[in-house]
Structure formats: structure tokens, C-alpha cells
Chain A
């Protein structure tokens, strides 16, 4: 490898002599990773001594022996919306409604959080920094925590789920939307400015056409994620089919739990497929 340099009397670059297999930096990185894993294992101390394979097998078997009675009203007070499939549909719409609320808030905020729109004046630059900081803070609080807090504040139920999920998504969508605006071609903005247009006209004419597609794409991505997340929210007080699953497991009714889990799996897979199809057609 070094012949080229040797033949010309040039110093041989050190990079040529370094072998990836003996490079101490690479080896110490691997050693460090193994050490962290080992120490972590000692600290967390996963204890499998209480595991009961026979019982676990019987539970798994029950998960596949579905209790289909949950698909029909249990008594004269229940309606379709109390059945498992009714709750599943309601949960899907919980994700959709939460996404809708977050879009309504995130779109206007995203313009305030885009550097290229807000730069050029100390006040607008300050707003930009503040909005982006708020987005980051909101995103750093996990959805489940937000929903738990909302459950305390608003009472357990779909209100907590919708508002908690929407709140978190304002942070996520706001950031994605803002970055879409920051990624646009600045040339048209410049050109429209020279026609004597004011700031709003520039945004309307030069920015909007460029962000429509990324906005739709990001929105579908979040809609997909929210509908997948919605069934879990019932577990922490957010309403929807999660409550049914929680109750079934607490009552050791694994026959019902198995059917609910199956319904969630089918919904998530269908959502995944649908969103991939829509996004593929858009791009």
C-alpha cells in the first residue's frame, strides 16, 4: 500500500499503516461499551428466579383462546361503543382528533419557530428562540407522563388522552414543520421581496407552495404514530381501548386481553400499511 509514497521518497501517511483491527481507539471503544453493559447488568440485577414457565405458558395459551363476548354489549345498559370493537374505533379517532388539535396549534407556531422567517430583527429573533425552546421542552416530556398529568388535572378519560397526546405533538410537529420551512429554497423569497410584496405576501406566495408536501408527509407520519400510541394511553388514564385491556389483565381475564391485543395489532399493522401507501404516493 505504501509503495506509491516510498517510490517517490515521500513520507508514508500514518493512516495507511493503521489497521482497523489493532487501532487502540477502536478497541478501547469496544471495551468501554462492554464494561458499561456489564456494570449495568450488575446494577439492574434482572432476577429470573420468580419466573414460572408453566404458568406463563398457560397464560399465553389463554391469550389465544379469545373471549368473543366482549364484542357484544354485556348487559342492557351497554351500547356498541362499550364493546371492544367500538372502543377500538373510538381509540383510533382519539389519535386522529389529538393530531388534528396539534396541527391547528403547530402550524401557526411553526412560522414563528423558523429561523429564515424570523431572522433580521432582534424581537422576531427572540420569538424564534423562545418558540423553539418551548418545542424542545414539550418534546422532552414523554407522552405517557403528559397523559398521567392530564388525567390528574382533567380526570381519567378521553379528555386526558386527547389533550395529553395533542400537547406532546405540538412539540414534535412544531419542530418538524419549522425545519421544513427552514429547508425551503430562499431564492423565491428574495425574488418575491423585490416585487414590493410585504412579509405576509412573501410567506403566502413563496413559502406556502414549498412546504405543502413536507407538511402533509410529516402530518401523516405523526397521525400514524398517534394512532399506534392511542391504545396504550388507556393504561395511564387516557381513555380508549387501553382501559379495557388494563381491566381484563387486572381481572386475570386473559381470554379477553388476548382478543384486545390482537385487535390492536391488526389496527397498527393496517395503519402502518395505509400511511406507507399514502406517503409513497405523495413523494
Chain B
């Protein structure tokens, strides 16, 4: 299979002199679910944002499906961008607009300018918006204001908006970092579904190794802007973990996924914690 994304010797140095991405080269195959891990400030965000040029790379090349992203300008760049969906930690919805118009915004790259100005989306776009809102389970919220939704629901609108682009690649910049554990799993499952069912390649940065193990088909760890690990999630043992996160790090568990969002009883919770502690390398740190 041909690589859908090829990152070649990418460097990003910010004006202050911070070397966020330091000679990173990656080949990402169609259909992969790549999880980016690493400490805050290790360059995950800069790497993700370089792919759709929200961040301007300092040097190196990014080739998306045979097209050089780093050389693209104007309309060419916008044509590449509309094939790359992105969701964000802070959801980045237009809070005062309705869920429906937020979702329809995903179609802007395909829409003539006059339709934007007169707020007249085509019938097909509206039908598609409802279809995508249905996929993420919130079609009934279409006419609510975006800021009336819970965090998990807002992120699902974010996913629906990205799906409107009919993307080949989905970038997710810490999509669950602002969500509670149960909601995190539900959002990650939607990403898993679009990866498996629609064959959309996903590159997702995460803070929790347990989520990376559960959802990723491949884990790339960044440390100070360099690739510190690239391989199967199962291959990250304690030694590798300490290499990535530093000697003092202790792995933190993000609660197990549950089919129901109902709260557990205290005993149930205790048993669950014990079971998890046994199943994972390290338990919850006492600090």
C-alpha cells in the first residue's frame, strides 16, 4: 500500500528559537490509526499542525497522497486542507452558532462563496450534515446553540464537521484531553469507527498511554521534537515508557471503558480499580 502521508525531515523552529519539531521523518500508510504520545511541549501539536499548514514548517517536506503540501499555495492548499479533517482539544466550535451551521462549516471548502454569504447551504449539504450528526448520535441537537452542549457532545459536533469534508486523513489534537474518562472513550470510539468503517487514516495525539494501547494500531512517541519510539502499542514496556516520559514518570490509568455511563457503586469501583491495577504495569501514583 502506498503511504498516504510522508513526512520527510520536518523541522519547525518558532521565532523564539524553540525547536518544536526536530528532523522528524514518518511514513503513514492508508488506514492506520497512529497515536502520537509525548510530554506536553514535545512537539505533537506542531507536528500535527504542520501537516495541514496551520503551522508553517521551517524545513522539510510533507507529501499527502502524492501532493507536496509544503509547496502548496492559495487554492491548491485549500484543496488539500479540505481532504484533511481536524478535531481539537477545545473543540473549536463557533459557540454562538447552531450545531447545524457548525457542522455545515465543514463543507466550506466545497462551497461557492455566495452560498456562505447568503447562508443558503445546498439541500445535499444539509442532508449530509444530518447524516453525520446522526452518526455521532446527536441529530436531535442540530438546532441547539453549540455552547449549550456538553463537552463530549461538542467534540462529536467537531467530528461531524470534519466528516463533512469527506476526508482521507483525520488529525486529532488531544481530542479527549478536556473530557472525563467515560466521555473520552465514547469520543475515541467514534474515531475508531471512522477509521475502521470509512477507512479514514487517523493521526491522534493523546496523553494517556492506556487510550493509545486500546485504540492505536501504531504509536509514535515524540521527545523534544524527535521520534523516540515508533512501533506497535504493545511494544511499549516500562523501560520504553521511562525513555519517553522520563525516569520519574509513573503511568496513570484513565478509567476503564464501560458500556453504560451509569456511576458504579463504591464496591464495584474498588473491585474495578484492583482489577485494573493487576492488569496494568503500574498503578495510580500516590502523589
Contacts and interface: CB of A to CB of B under 8 A. Distances in A.
Contacts of B108: 192, 195-197, 201, 205
B88 A190 contact: yes
B81 interface: yes
B158 interface: yes
B78 A191 contact: no
Contact of B81 (A185, A193, A205, A212): A193
B152 interface: no
Contact of A191 (B96, B110, B158): B158
Given A193-B54, A195-B81, A196-B165, A205 B88 contact: no
A192 B105 contact: yes
Contacts of B218: none
B94 A205 contact: yes
Nearest to B51: A194
B106 A195 contact: yes
Nearest to A197: B108
A250 to B, nearest CB: 53
Nearest to B171: A194
A197 B97 contact: no
Contacts of B106: 195
Q: Tell me what chain A mostly uses at the interface: helix, strand, loop, or mixed.
A: helix
Contacts of A209: 94, 96-97
A194 B52 contact: yes
B107 interface: yes
Q: Which of A190, A194, A197, A206 has the most chain B CB within a 10 Å cutoff? A: A194
Contacts of B107: 195
A196 B116 CA distance: 13
Nearest to A212: B96
B19 to A, nearest CB: 22
Contacts of A197: 78, 105, 108-109, 116
Given A192-B94, A194-B54, A204-B116, 7 more contacts: A188-B94, A193-B81, A196-B79, A197-B108, A198-B75, A198-B113, A210-B95
Interface of B: 52, 54, 75, 78-86, 88, 90-97, 101, 105-111, 113, 116-117, 158, 161-162, 164-165, 171
Counting from the closest, the 7 A-B pairs by CB-CB distance are A196-B109, A196-B82, A187-B92, A197-B108, A191-B92, A196-B81, A194-B86
21 contacts: A185-B95, A187-B92, A188-B93, A188-B95, A190-B54, A190-B88, A194-B54, A194-B171, A195-B106, A195-B107, A195-B161, A195-B165, A196-B108, A197-B78, A198-B78, A198-B113, A201-B108, A204-B116, A205-B94, A205-B97, A209-B94
Interface of A: 185, 187-188, 190-198, 200-201, 204-206, 209-210, 212-213
